[in-house]
Amino acid sequence: MRLPLSVIFSACFFSVATMAAFRVQAEDMPVTIAAGVRDPIYTHLYVAYKNGYLKEQGLEPKLVITGSGSRAAQLMVTGQADATIGNPEHVLVISNEGRATVMLAAFDQRNTFGNILVNSDSGLKELSDLKNKPIGITATGGGAYYYARFLFQHSGLAPSEIKWINLGSVANLEGAMRSKRVSAVVASLSMVETAKTQKYGYTLFDSRDTDAWNKVFGGPMPSSVVYALADNVKKKPELYRRVVKAMIQADDFIKKNSAETIAEAIVSEMGGQSVPSLVHAIDAYKKTYWRPSGLKIEEPEYKRWQQFAMDNELLSKQDLDKYGYANLVKDVGAFQ
């Protein structure tokens, strides 16, 4: 029996279209992800990269580590990165400058870089004791800067009484502390553990202290997020869905494995930090910082962060609706 030409053509068209769709789906999508530091603060990113989850999702990943969150944000704005891992405050800053930006997922429920570390022989007891003393930070304008600035202002210091020293990297922060070039640094948890182990520093504010955190910040809120330009997300939703799916895979790995296993997986990306110091930090992150119920940003925690942003003069009361949950948080379909 001979088939009608219309049936043959339809079958051929279906076959060609299916094969084309398969090729598009099978092709890896290049993606550049920027982050500020090589530190377990961004363990989800490094696990997704080292364990191959980004590749499993059909991506060709390139990581660019800039030394500060603000520089990582600049790479995204200038088109040199597709997505950035950093603080949500940058989403506000970039959006305010006319480039609508959205958060896609969050890794933690409080800021892991919001620790104030001082020299062991400084004799300092309160945050207010740092009035007019040099305080090291990766970069003013970075995510850690906003949390530290809020902490110092909450302690009674005026902006003019805070002497920031931009140092650019975690290694430079540690060097400045050891040489006593600065009186304090805004430190990651692994830096705090290293300083305590090697007896060259102690904390005036430790973000692991839930009571201390809640007293200043009011409770859990997103702090390290995946974000991207809204126009790019609209143009390439599949790319961003894959990125978030890879981060969800990393979150599953983190929840199911020990701090030792996680540290071994990412140590080669940590800029020389030792496995023991990473284990201390990761163990604390698992217990206190990382989100117990997944990476999706929920509205109540967003509103708490929004209030922090307003108190920190990053957001005006008039702009609360403009930069509300529906406008700054985007679900790309990865959580289904």
The CATH 3.40.190.10 domain(s) of the chain lie at 10-109+221-328, 115-216
Per-residue pLDDT tens digits for 15-58: 444 444 443 445 789 999 999 989 898 999 999 999 999 999 99
Residue 104 has a pLDDT of 98
Residues 6 or more apart in contact with residue 169 via CB below 8 angstroms: 37, 67, 68, 138, 271
Class of domain 115-216: alpha beta
Residue 95 has a pLDDT of 94
- Which whole number is the average pLDDT over 51-66? 97
pLDDT of residue 7 exceeding 80, the answer is no
Higher pLDDT: 218 or 335? It is: 335
Amino acid at 304: R
> Smallest Cα–Cα separation from 186: which of 212, 167, 200?
167
The CB-side HSE value for 88 (13 A sphere, CA atoms) comes to 34
DSSP code, position 30 = E
CATH label, 10-109+221-328, candidates 3.10.580.10, 1.10.4080.10, 1.10.10.10, 3.40.190.10 = 3.40.190.10
Amino acid at 203: T
Residue 6 has a pLDDT of 46
Per-residue pLDDT tens digits for 96-115: 999 999 999 999 998 877 89
- Which whole number is the average pLDDT over 256-280? 93
Terminal Cα distance for the chain, rounded? 47
Which helix H or strand E contains 196, and what residues bound it? helix 189-197
Mean pLDDT of all residues in the chain?
A: 89
Residue 207 in contact with residue 167, Cβ under 8 Å?
no
**Phi-psi category of 162—alpha, beta or left, where left has phi over 0 and alpha has psi -120 to 50?**
beta
Residue 177 has a pLDDT of 93
DSSP code, position 285 = I
Per-residue pLDDT tens digits for 129-176: 999 999 999 888 777 888 899 899 889 999 999 999 999 888 899 999
pLDDT of residue 11 exceeding 50, the answer is no
